[in-house]
């Protein structure tokens, strides 16, 4: 199984976890354990939300399917039902019945990065390098482009191993299920932060 998580997500996630820990410890030292509810609540909330929103979401690819792990939900698409990928707003997988699933862990580049990519493509096309086909989100070095390339490589290998394709299954192409750990972290983080701020 290969997984992808944007480097920026790791940076933001560990920053939230570290900041939450510092806030909690600082309040315990400054106010004592009995009076540090505010700092402990806010710190615990930051840690839980950093884990839920940035460190846990990822895109995973196995030999026969794509799994998109978002904050509170996991979407699975078997390669036999995968129709295409899109990178307009974030990486998005599209099933053969039109159902879609977006990846929180693989956003498309913002406007500034898209302009830099377009300028780089223009410079490369002047020097004889073939231009990038598609969107800026398809470019390698971007979260959506790197995750898309990882999926395409496994999908191509699957198609080579199954030249006639597997019969399309019954039911929806994108299977969704609740991620209880992510849901618990998100709800717990919000509750802890509210407890810390309101006390």
pLDDT at 7 over 70: yes
Give the pLDDT mean for 56-76.
96
Indicate the average pLDDT of the chain: 87
For residue 116, what pLDDT band results from cuts at 50, 70 and 90? low
Mean pLDDT score, 86-112? 86
Question: Over pLDDT 70: what percentage of the chain?
Answer: 82
Name the 3-class secondary structure at 24.
helix
Rounded Cα distance between 87 and 77, Å, is 17
- Taken as a whole, the chain contains a residue count of 199
CA triplet 123, 128, 133: central angle to 5 degrees? 75
pLDDT score of 35: 86
Looking at residue 114, its pLDDT comes to 54
Average pLDDT over residues 122-132: 58
Q: What is the pTM of this model?
A: 0.82
Mean pLDDT of 45-51: 97
Residue spans of the domains in the chain: they are: 1-56+179-199, 76-173
Q: Give the Cα separation of 176 and 72 in Å (integer).
A: 10
**3 to 112, 138, 190: CA distances (angstroms):** 27, 18, 27
- Per-residue pLDDT at 132 exceeds 80: no
């Amino acid at each position: 199984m290969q997984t992808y998580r944007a480097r920026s997500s790791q940076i933001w996630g560990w920053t939230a976890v570290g900041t939450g820990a510092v806030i909690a410890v600082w309040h315990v030292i400054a106010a004592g354990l009995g009076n540090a509810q505010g700092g402990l609540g806010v710190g615990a909330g930051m840690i839980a939300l950093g884990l839920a929103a940035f460190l846990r979401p990822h895109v995973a690819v196995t030999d026969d399917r794509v799994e998109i792990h978002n904050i509170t939900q996991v979407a699975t698409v078997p390669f036999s039902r995968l129709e295409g990928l899109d990178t307009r707003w974030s990486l998005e997988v599209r099933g053969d019945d039109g159902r879609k699933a977006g990846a929180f862990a693989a956003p498309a580049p913002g406007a500034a990065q898209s302009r830099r990519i377009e300028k780089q493509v223009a410079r490369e096309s002047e020097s004889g390098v073939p231009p990038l086909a598609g969107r800026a989100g398809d470019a390698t070095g971007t979260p959506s482009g790197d995750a898309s390339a990882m999926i395409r490589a496994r999908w191509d290998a699957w198609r080579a191993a199954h030249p006639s394709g597997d019969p399309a299954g019954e039911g929806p192409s994108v299977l969704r299920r609740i991620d209880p750990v992510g849901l618990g972290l998100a709800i717990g983080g919000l509750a802890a932060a509210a407890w810390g701020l309101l006390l």
